[in-house]
Amino acid sequence: MSTPPIKKIVLWLVAIFLLYAILTSPTDAAAMVGSAWDVIMNGVGNIGRFFDTLLAR
């Protein structure tokens, strides 16, 4: 008797939830993606600025 593949089940549940969230409120979903993209770009910019300052000295 084997256990069900938990990781696969969780990934399917997350995918179904994301699809549901996008279909029920696409503007909110787009705003969340835009906010996440801004956070990522801000982090990359800060890391670049850090290394630029570190190597400039």
* Nearest CA among 19, 15, 40, 16 for reference residue 29: 19
| Position 45 in a domain | yes
Q: What is the pLDDT of residue 56?
A: 85
* Nearest CA among 18, 12, 52, 53 for reference residue 32: 18
Each residue's pLDDT tens digit, 11-51: 999 999 989 989 999 999 899 999 999 999 999 999 999 99
Q: Which range of residues forms the domain containing residue 17?
A: 6-56
Confidence of residue 57 (pLDDT cuts 50, 70, 90): low
| Position 31 in a domain | yes
CA–CA–CA angle 26, 36, 49 (5° rounding): 155
Q: How many folded domains does the chain comprise?
A: 1
Q: What is the pLDDT of residue 1?
A: 55
Q: What is the pLDDT of residue 4?
A: 72
Q: What is the pLDDT of residue 25?
A: 93
| Position 42 in a domain | yes
Which tokens is 45 given? 């910019």
Positive or negative CA dihedral for 13, 16, 20, 22? Answer: positive
| Position 40 in a domain | yes
| Position 1 in a domain | no
Q: What is the pLDDT of residue 15?
A: 95
